[in-house]
A and B are shown apart, each in its own frame.
Chain A
């Protein structure tokens, strides 16, 4: 039986939950869990001040329920194992720096989802804000591993300085996707914003949408291609139950190499209609 945390009341002030992860709660009694410190804005609070706690945490499963879950920030931050389910929206820094386990959000997620994550799986059922899988400001590397799946659209700067791992976005992506990408794979089911892949060194960006992207002049067209790795990747995404259009597997792409200002070793693949 999972540990269920039901939000007692809505608040517009952030509730910081970065200390509340499955492995930290495992082995604690109900009373100890209720006394766990959290932050409400600039004030200290106990978990039970804001949540009704039921169930057990020993099986490393947490569930967040209630109205106004978008005010919960840092959920699953740094988690190493276990699972977290959020029956609604989630706030900022969801699963940031996590290295293992699984987070599933039924609704939307805020900014910085999966920022600098190292492993594990995050599945966002709706849209995500800016800077998903990103490096924090001043940090040389963003996502270092794991899988970030966003069924809806995503904001700007997704995967900035990403070094390893997979980000898949079902809808459109905002501007500067994959800025400074070091390696790894970003798949966009919709269309790219401007400056996609700017300063990318290696790695792969895939656009499935039919719009012609406005690429930087430092991307050079290479060829039409049906890459074999894409066939393997689509199967992997389908195993993760990430929705992809029919016939995606055998899709033909136009390959661009870039960013030539950063060595030109990155791949940007854009879908070819029909």
Chain B
């Protein structure tokens, strides 16, 4: 299969079941909402070494937020509800409550599974916190130095998918990086999807395990152009650079939509091949076959 001069490899991305929450952060203006969201979703690229995988889903206009202020919707993925319950309140306490003018709301609404948020953070109020029930939601009002930090008591949890991916292999580092940027720009406004790595792009693609026993993951030498000739290279002939794009999504449709949009945006003459990474189908239950996904568009 080809998109223009770019070959689409006959392979699949292998993804995993995860749980996720949608956190809506609002603030006095766009600057503070964005600042809070970026801080909250920092150090959350991969559960290989981070407590969660998180990213900005999209910016929200005042008309879309519960308090009528500018906001940002963040998605946070973890392997378990318990993991999310430990990570999200800690992150919110350190990165959202501390950020000027913010408030935090649940972006998923009524769900069967929930994790505490304000229920834990309220203790920062040291007895001066107050709850406020508005409609069906309970909020906590925690006194802080610019007024009050308003935070939802709990967050809904849904099943999601982590690990959708594409591999871009290009002739030059510059051309491949530009293709990666185009791909991430194409998925930026898609609902229910995040690309949790820096700028949505991974340069240190990994394999499971290492020759060093203490490491869970290590560099995937088969895709490192500098090791061509020393190890068996899996790069396309002529490729001197590869970038991986990783997507976590609310459901299979979100992952499929992101992979399609990213592949179509990335393909050009500087990109020799678009592939995907998997573990032979042994680890993840979700397999996204590139040819099947792109059949309608190519």
Return chain A residues, CB-CB under 8 Å to B132. Answer: 185, 204, 229, 233
- Whether a CB of chain B sits under 8 angstroms from the CB of A228 is yes
Q: Give the complex CA separation of A225 and B150 in angstroms.
A: 13
Which of B26, B69, B139 makes the CB contact (< 8 A) with A229?
B139
Chain B interfacial residues counted at CB < 8 A: 17
CB distance from A239 to the nearest CB of B (A): 8
Return chain A residues, CB-CB under 8 Å to B150. Answer: 227-229, 232
A-contact 0/1 string along B6-33, CB 8 Å cutoff: 0000000000000000000010000000
- Whether a CB of chain A sits under 8 angstroms from the CB of B134 is yes
Q: Give the complex CA separation of A239 and B68 in angstroms.
A: 13
B-contact 0/1 string along A249-260, CB 8 Å cutoff: 110000000000
- Please determine whether B67 and A232 come into contact, CB atoms closer than 8 angstroms: yes
Chain A interfacial residues counted at CB < 8 A: 24
Q: From DSSP, what is the main secondary structure of chain B's interface residues?
A: strand
- Please determine whether B147 and A265 come into contact, CB atoms closer than 8 angstroms: no
Give B48-89 interface residues, CB cut-off 8 Å to A: 66-69
- Please determine whether A227 and B134 come into contact, CB atoms closer than 8 angstroms: no
- Whether a CB of chain A sits under 8 angstroms from the CB of B130 is yes
CB distance from A64 to the nearest CB of B (A): 28
Return chain A residues, CB-CB under 8 Å to B131. Answer: 183
Q: Give the complex CA separation of A164 and B135 in angstroms.
A: 12
- Please determine whether A231 and B67 come into contact, CB atoms closer than 8 angstroms: yes
- Whether a CB of chain A sits under 8 angstroms from the CB of B268 is no
- Please determine whether B67 and A235 come into contact, CB atoms closer than 8 angstroms: yes
Q: Give the complex CA separation of A161 and B241 in angstroms.
A: 70
Q: Which residue of A lies closest to B136 (CB)?
A: A236
How many A-B contacts if CB must be within 8 Å? 51
- Whether a CB of chain A sits under 8 angstroms from the CB of B148 is yes
Known A204-B132, A236-B134, A267-B130: A229·B148 in contact at CB below 8 Å: yes
Q: Give the complex CA separation of A261 and B52 in angstroms.
A: 47
- Whether a CB of chain B sits under 8 angstroms from the CB of A226 is yes
Which of A202, A231, A236 makes the CB contact (< 8 A) with B135?
A236
Return chain B residues, CB-CB under 8 Å to A223. Answer: 147
Q: Give the complex CA separation of A263 and B133 in angstroms.
A: 21
Return chain B residues, CB-CB under 8 Å to A236. Answer: 134-135
Give A178-214 interface residues, CB cut-off 8 Å to B: 183-185, 202, 204
Q: Give the complex CA separation of A226 and B69 in angstroms.
A: 12
CB distance from B52 to the nearest CB of A (A): 26
- Please determine whether A231 and B68 come into contact, CB atoms closer than 8 angstroms: yes
Give A127-179 interface residues, CB cut-off 8 Å to B: 164-166
Q: Give the complex CA separation of A24 and B191 in angstroms.
A: 46
Return chain A residues, CB-CB under 8 Å to B147. Answer: 223, 225-228
Which of B66, B133, B141 makes the CB contact (< 8 A) with A164?
B133
Return chain A residues, CB-CB under 8 Å to B276. Answer: none
- Please determine whether B130 and A228 come into contact, CB atoms closer than 8 angstroms: no
Q: Which residue of A lies closest to B149 (CB)?
A: A228
- Please determine whether A235 and B130 come into contact, CB atoms closer than 8 angstroms: no
Q: Which of A231, A235, A239, A265 has the most CB of B within 10 A?
A: A231
CB distance from B129 to the nearest CB of A (A): 10
Q: Which residue of A lies closest to B131 (CB)?
A: A183
- Whether a CB of chain A sits under 8 angstroms from the CB of B103 is yes
Give A237-274 interface residues, CB cut-off 8 Å to B: 239, 249-250, 265, 267
Q: List 6 A-B contacts (CB under 8 A).
A: A185-B132, A228-B26, A228-B69, A228-B147, A235-B68, A236-B135
Beyond A235-B67, A236-B134, 14 additional pairs, beta carbon < 8 A: A165-B133, A183-B131, A185-B132, A204-B132, A228-B103, A228-B147, A229-B148, A229-B150, A231-B67, A232-B66, A232-B139, A233-B132, A235-B68, A265-B130
